[in-house]
Amino acid sequence: MERPVSAPAPLRPPGEPVIRGVNWLGVRTLYLKEVRRFFKVQMQTVWAPAITTLLFLAIFMVALGGDRREVLGVPYGSFLGPGLIIMGMAQNSFQNTLSSLIIAKVQGTIVDVLMPPLSNRELLFAWVAGAVTRAWLVGLAIWGAMLLWPGVDVRIASLPQVALFGTLGAILLALLGVLTGLWAEKFDHGAAVTNFLVQPLTLLSGTFYAIDRLPDAMQALSRGNPFFYMIDGFRAGFIGVAEADPRLGALIVGGLCLLLWVAAWRILESGWKVRP
């Protein structure tokens, strides 16, 4: 007796989405791809930045007498340590999304990311999540080494504040890396943004000094730097003292993250410099 042949499933109209809601499997796959990409060369992406940051700590501690000076009522080493941690996290978050996009565009493999059924929001989320993961791995490596550093106290006073500003700072720089990667057509373009925007804003944001010791004009300039609020809020989570209101800092950094997210999403939607 022959089995009845079932009728074929009707074809969906062109453009009708097959996966409704969030493609969690696709997001997870792209996120794991991003994590494995940088973790495969962890000596370069995690441990080398941690060692470089510790060299900054050693140089400034020796040059400025970190065990004898006080800043904001705490020893200089304890003031400097948290700022160096968030500085390392931010720079590596930026480099992660930037390198991922530039390498994919230069090698022509960007199509492998754009072809799967992932929306632009899902692409953006996975890229940023991968960068935040790298940032926290770098931050934890630096923090762990500083726990053993003589003259530096990096015990956490407020874990929620450290987690908030660390994550917001990593997201901010990851989104800036996405925007740079979308715009850049070669590695020199990414290096230009790193050298002339990211590093100056990071180094001149109060990482190595308290801005209340600067002239009034320089203080006003520093308070216009969003990286200052990111670093000040993160450091206050360790030492319990902030130069600016942490609530204002969270509002500024969070608002800027939202603004950059919308900008990156709109650019991805337009296909500018990504899709032919």
pLDDT of residue 95: 95
Residues 6+ apart with CB under 8 A from 70: 76
pLDDT of residue 214: 85
- pLDDT tens per residue, the chain (276 residues)? 556 656 565 666 655 566 778 889 999 999 999 999 999 999 999 999 999 998 988 888 877 665 667 888 888 888 999 999 999 999 999 999 999 999 999 888 888 888 888 899 999 999 999 999 999 999 999 999 999 888 788 999 999 999 999 999 999 999 999 999 999 988 999 999 999 999 999 888 888 888 888 888 888 888 999 999 999 999 999 999 999 999 999 999 999 999 999 999 999 999 888 876
Query: How many other C-beta atoms lie within 10 A of the C-beta of residue 18?
Result: 7
Quote the tokens at residue 79: 């003031």
Quote the tokens at residue 59: 């140089």
Q: What angle do CA 220, 223, 225 make, to 5 degrees?
A: 120
What's the rounded Cα separation, in Å, for the pair 222 and 218? Answer: 6
pLDDT of residue 102: 93
pLDDT of residue 16: 59
pLDDT of residue 145: 92
Distances (CA, A) of 56 to 21, 49, 84, 156, 158: 46, 11, 8, 21, 25
Distances (CA, A) of 7 to 2, 12, 13, 185, 226: 15, 15, 18, 50, 61
pLDDT of residue 6: 62
- 85 closest CA partner among 133, 125, 33, 138: 138
pLDDT of residue 125: 96
* 3-class secondary structure, 211: helix
β-strand 70-71 against 74-75: which pairing, if any?
antiparallel
Strand segments (E) across the chain: 70-71, 74-75
Dihedrals φ, ψ of 29, to 5°?
Answer: -65, -45
pLDDT of residue 212: 84
Query: How many other C-beta atoms lie within 10 A of the C-beta of residue 223?
Result: 17
- 205 closest CA partner among 188, 230, 182: 230
Instruction: Return left, alpha or beta for 204; rule: phi > 0 is left, psi -120 to 50 is alpha, else beta.
Output: alpha
